[in-house]
Amino acid sequence: MPTKIVLGAQWGDEGKAKIVDYLTLDADIVVRYQGGANAGHTVIVGDTEFVFHMIPSGIMHEDKVCVVGNGVVVDPEEMLAEIEDLEQKGFDVAGRFFVSQIAHLVMPYHKALEKAAEESQGSVKIGTTGRGIGPAYRDKVERSYGVRMMDLLDPQRLRDKLEASIRAKNELLTKVYDQEPLESGPIVDAYIGYGEQLAPYVADVSVLLNQAIDQGKTVLCEGAQGTLLDIDHGTYPYVTSSNTTAGGACTGSGIGPTRVDEVIGVTKAYTTRVGNGPFPTELLGEAGERLRSLGHEFGATTGRARRCGWFDAAILRAASRINGLTSIALTRLDVLDELESLRLGIGYRYGDEILEEFPADPQVLEKCEPIYEEVAGWQTPTTDVRHIDDLPPQARIYVERISELSRAPVSLISVGPERESTIDVD
């Protein structure tokens, strides 16, 4: 298997974890390339539950190597908690887990500043996950106070950097946000400790991955969040702070674009969004409630109820274009099994205009009315279907229409949470 990127084609929560788990069976290495502890998935093995925010869940496969690339902002406390949890439950990660030496860190002041900013009057209420992601990327880009994994390994360098940084952040916390200052001593000591514990895992990830590709190994790059949460291409400012799109897999891991063979966009058979921002096909009231309860749409990281709505093909066309999708993995088709009829958003009406492409201007998007195509429901359980030909005819029509409207072939269809509940179309 060649190098593949698997990423979210909508606003996150598309069911990437399940698709990544399925594709991991044929992979040697799984890499995360952006985001941080804002992403989350829960994996259940027998009666034991594992929650991952930092480490690729591919780590559950004992013969796989898992890597956190430089594009990720690392929360070392969270990363260590996950390693410890895995080891307590009998999974050995030594020698098969690596984190980039040039990845930036999330610090306690990032979380404190994010919270203060979101609560303060007059700031945009993005509805972040509160994991300090934006402030950590801000420091990376701003360049005065960014702290990287390699700094963790050098206690003196770390102490100097953190003391300067905490001094500056305390100015902000106390003078701008009227909050208590943070005490630097305990933070410095804690992070020196994290450095000692994480040292064995720190690596030059670009070298590691490219050598692996040279040796014919298969690499699976796992995106977090989704295309419309991309800092550039998403519904700005209601986005996350990283490039969730395919280019981010290259910059966030140190693999060149010419080495990537496939880009798979994961999309639900309907649409959800957590947090604020425009959502043209959103269903409010009872209809939205019904979809939420059929799909159990509550966030893995924050527990928040997800906003739900119809499938929106304009989003998928944008995802196909921006990511150069080679195929689509369609998830949660079974969630729609009961519905009498369904709607597919095929484009937008904006005043007198018909828009086929997803508009970049949020003010335009806010005023867009979706144009729907009505499709009959199949009202037949699909969870046990394993072959595309065995889908109820109406479900096949729905899938084919999604593929046509999205301008990409469907390679996988997920019809249930279990690994086996997957239709491999190819």
By CB under 6 A, is residue 331 in contact with ligand IMP?
A: no
The answer to whether 125 and 91 are in contact (CB under 8 A) is no
Cα separation, 205 vs 97, whole angstroms = 11
Binding residue (CB under 6 A) for ligand IMP from 275, 345, 347, 359? 275
**Which CA distances in Å does 250 have to 40, 51, 297, 386?**
22, 26, 31, 33
13 tagged catalytic: yes
Choose the one of ligand IMP, Mg ion, none that binds residue 242, judging by a C-beta under 5 to 8 angstroms depending on kind.
none
The answer to whether 209 and 31 are in contact (CB under 8 A) is yes
41 tagged catalytic: yes
By CB under 6 A, is residue 10 in contact with ligand IMP?
A: no
By CB under 6 A, is residue 139 in contact with ligand IMP?
A: no
Which of 21, 28, 41, 139 is catalytic? The answer is 41
By CB under 6 A, is residue 327 in contact with ligand IMP?
A: no
Cα separation, 87 vs 46, whole angstroms = 17
Cα separation, 410 vs 327, whole angstroms = 6
Cα separation, 269 vs 397, whole angstroms = 13
Tell me the H-state helices in 215-259: 246-251
Binding residue (CB under 6 A) for ligand IMP from 131, 140, 307, 317? 131
By CB under 6 A, is residue 245 in contact with ligand IMP?
A: no
Write out the two tokens for 114.
Answer: 């994010």
Cα separation, 281 vs 235, whole angstroms = 14
Strands (E), 130-240: 202-203, 219-222
Choose the one of ligand IMP, Mg ion, none that binds residue 411, judging by a C-beta under 5 to 8 angstroms depending on kind.
none
Choose the one of Mg ion, ligand IMP, none that binds residue 38, judging by a C-beta under 5 to 8 angstroms depending on kind.
ligand IMP
Residue nearest to ligand IMP (CB): 275
Choose the one of Mg ion, ligand IMP, none that binds residue 240, judging by a C-beta under 5 to 8 angstroms depending on kind.
ligand IMP
By CB under 6 A, is residue 227 in contact with ligand IMP?
A: no
Which stretches of the chain bind Mg ion, using CB under 5 A? 13, 300
* Residues taking part in catalysis: 13, 41
Which stretches of the chain bind ligand IMP, using CB under 6 A? 12-13, 38-39, 126-129, 131, 133-134, 224-225, 229, 238, 240-241, 274-275
